[in-house]
Amino acid sequence: MSKKNINLSSVKGTHDILPHEQFVWEKLRKGIRHVAEIYSFSRIDTPILENLDLFQRGVGEATDIVEKQMYTLTTKGGDKLVLRPEGTSAIARAYIQHGLSHMSQPLKVYYDGPFFRYEQPQAGRYRQFNQVGFEIIGGENDPIYDVQVMITALRLLESLKFKNISIHLNSIGCKACRAIYKKKLLNYYKNNKKEICKDCNRRMLDNPLRLLDCKDEHCEAVKKEAPSIIDDLCTPCRKHFKEVLEYAEELKLPYQIDPFIVRGLDYYNRTVFEFFVEIESADGEKTTSLALGGGGRYDYLFEILGHRNTPAIGMAFGMERIVEAIKACNINLLPRQKNKIFLIAIGIEAKKKGLSLIEEFAGSGINVSESIGKNSLGAQLKASDKEGASWALILGQKEVFKESVIIRDLKTGVQETVLLKKVVAEIKKRL
């Protein structure tokens, strides 16, 4: 073994979720399960590894994800694989592979789990991050599904006590009307060529719509004056968008039309949207919008993958973004303090009895904490204090001999001795 020090930091762009941070994640997962149940989404899990060409074809060659963000690898057998950068293509693959079109349609599924993109790490941006997504696949091409996905996503954020949620909503039309718009857009950008970044100069050649998705501040300024796609929608796309807006009105979705939302993936058509929350600065002076996730209709994806035309709509949130927004908005999701019981045992016979007592409590559905590996009364009391316990159950030699246990109220210091066989009932009474 070499003597070189091992690098003990997590890999760049990855992060640990430590025990004390888990409760927020658990709240989030619970919220996901809850809204999934309300709106009848079934869970689906797909592998982390997929074939490279799934995303090259599905997401599109001229997107940021495929151009520069994929973790690709070649197996010993020579297969080209990728750590999945997004969920929708993988779910479409599973839908085709397992003939899920034979189940009742539309199929409503949700997922959550890790995704991988080779991006420059910064606040809210990682190389391994988690997403939760909802998809409605197959059946009729009805705008009502667009709104069902949005209401599910909205209710998830509301269940996490977010306020000031807004949905930026747009339609990017179909292949036909988008082609006309692309020409207009290109003309506009040609006249502003000098103002935009290098990437955008390249985007003009291979994916003009992506010009509107650039985060460069000079490009953002140019974007403000760009032509709006909504003016160019064809009659069927216009009708579809109008119906989406009518349903959105009916449900009072907090939406605003934003003609510059285009999304970073190629498979989208018609409805696209992004979810934002307003975050106040620490001094309360300034608010900024944080993008938590987005989605849209992807009626072309199944054909791109060689399957028959299948209408679909979906969205995904970044889970780290949500957790960071919870912190930034000072949302308190901590559970109400429950009364905790702490077991203290001195000496081997007492420890034996203590172990059985913990089991007896567990059988009655009551959790008992302990620090039973420590020997002294002082050390164990200190541990009970750290836990914030309400009562200590103390077992010493004398108690073992008398088949009893001391219940000590840790706030008042008042204590009482009860028979071992009665202690569970006694604690139940106090809880």
**Which residues in this chain contact ligand ATP in the complex, by CB under 6 A?**
86, 117, 119, 124-126, 129, 131, 264, 291-294, 316-318, 320-321
CB of 119 to ligand ATP, least distance (A): 4
- Rounded distance, CA 232 to CA 272, Å? 16
Terminal-to-terminal C-alpha distance of the chain: 56
CB of 52 to ligand ATP, least distance (A): 18
Tokens of 5: 């020090």
CB of 325 to ligand ATP, least distance (A): 9
CB 28 within 8 A of CB 160: yes
CB of 76 to ligand ATP, least distance (A): 29
Nearer to ligand ATP, 143 or 294 (CB): 294
Classify the phi-psi angles of 252: left when phi > 0, otherwise alpha if psi is within -120 to 50, otherwise beta.
Answer: left
- Rounded distance, CA 86 to CA 144, Å? 24
Nearer to ligand ATP, 119 or 243 (CB): 119
Radius of gyration, CA atoms only, the chain: 28
Backbone angles phi, psi at 371, to 5 degrees: -140, 55
CB of 113 to ligand ATP, least distance (A): 12
CB of 230 to ligand ATP, least distance (A): 20
Nearer to ligand ATP, 129 or 361 (CB): 129
Nearer to ligand ATP, 86 or 232 (CB): 86
| Nearest position to ligand ATP, beta carbon | 318
Q: What single string gives the DSSP state of each residue in 1-18?
A: ---SPP--SPPTT-----
Nearer to ligand ATP, 54 or 355 (CB): 54
Nearer to ligand ATP, 265 or 392 (CB): 265
- Rounded distance, CA 308 to CA 167, Å? 31
The set of residues, in sequence order, having a beta carbon less than 8 Å from that of 146 and lying 6+ positions away, is: 244, 247, 270, 271, 297, 313
- What angle (nearest 5°) sits at the alpha carbon of residue 386, between those of residues 416 and 377? 50
* CB neighbourhood size of 173 (10 A): 24
Nearer to ligand ATP, 135 or 399 (CB): 135
Nearer to ligand ATP, 111 or 361 (CB): 111
Strand 404-409 and strand 415-419: pairing? Answer: antiparallel
- Rounded distance, CA 186 to CA 176, Å? 16
- Rounded distance, CA 377 to CA 78, Å? 62
Encoded amino acid at 17, one letter: I
Reference 296, options 93, 84, 133; nearest CA is: 133
DSSP, res 208? G
CB of 65 to ligand ATP, least distance (A): 7
Nearer to ligand ATP, 270 or 321 (CB): 321
- Rounded distance, CA 32 to CA 252, Å? 21
CB of 219 to ligand ATP, least distance (A): 13
CB of 192 to ligand ATP, least distance (A): 22
